[in-house]
Amino acid sequence: MNLSAAVLVFAVSAAPAFAAEWAPAVNTEELSAIAAPAPSAPAKTSPRDGNNYSGAEELLIMEFGITAISMDIPEDEVIRQDRYYNNTFRFEQALRLVLNGILGNYSDPSSPLARTLGEMGAPGQPTKSQLKLASQKVLSLLNNPASQLSIVRPYKFNQPLRGETVEKNWIFFLSLNGRSYWAVADRSGAKAPYVYGLN
C-alpha cells in the first residue's frame, strides 16, 4: 500500500468519528426555533435618482414639483401591468389621476386631504382657501424623503386594505407622515379614482 492510499484509508475510517464531533444533531424542535428573516422591502429612491420608471419620475417632477419622495416604481413592473392587464389608459394617466385625487379629493374621511382638513379644524364643506392650504400641506408631505410612493404588485407588499386587485386596478401605496394610504384607479375607467387610508 503506498502512502496516498494509506492516507485515504485513514481519512475514510476517521470521517464518521470526526463528523460526529463536528456536526450537531438536528431535530424538528431546533429547526422550528430558527427564525427566518422576512423578505426585505424594495429599496427607496427619489424621482431624481433615475432608478424608477422614467415616466413616473418625469410626471412627479414636471407636473407636481415632487422631487424628494421615496419611490418604488420599477420600469419592468409598469411594463408588465401595462401589457398584461386590460387597460383603458396607461400608467402615466393613472398616476396623474391618483395624485390629483390625493391633492383634491376629501370625500373619504381617511384620505390624506380629509385628515389634513380635519387637523386644520375645517368644516365638512371647507372654503376654497382652506382647501388650497390643505392641498399645499399634503403636497409638502408628498415632497419629503420620509414619504413613500409604490406601485402595488400582485401578492406582494402593501396590498390594499379594501381588497382591490391589481388585475382590475392601478394601485399605488402611499406612506405619509407615518400613515398608510392606497390610491386606486380602475383600469376600465368605469369608476372614478379614489384614495383612502387606515382608519
pLDDT in tens, the chain (199 residues): 555 555 455 555 555 554 455 545 655 565 455 554 544 454 567 676 677 899 999 999 999 999 999 999 999 999 999 999 999 999 999 999 999 999 999 999 999 999 999 999 987 889 999 999 999 999 999 999 999 999 999 988 899 999 999 999 999 999 999 999 999 999 999 999 999 998 7
User: Domain boundaries in the chain?
Assistant: 3-32, 47-197
Which residue has 470526526 as its cell numbers? 18
Q: How far apart are CA 2 and CA 29, in angstroms?
A: 47
Q: Are 138 and 101 in contact (CB under 8 A)?
A: no
Task: Write down the pLDDT at residue 31.
Answer: 45
> How far apart are alpha carbons 89 and 70 in whole angstroms?
25
pLDDT value, residue 89: 95
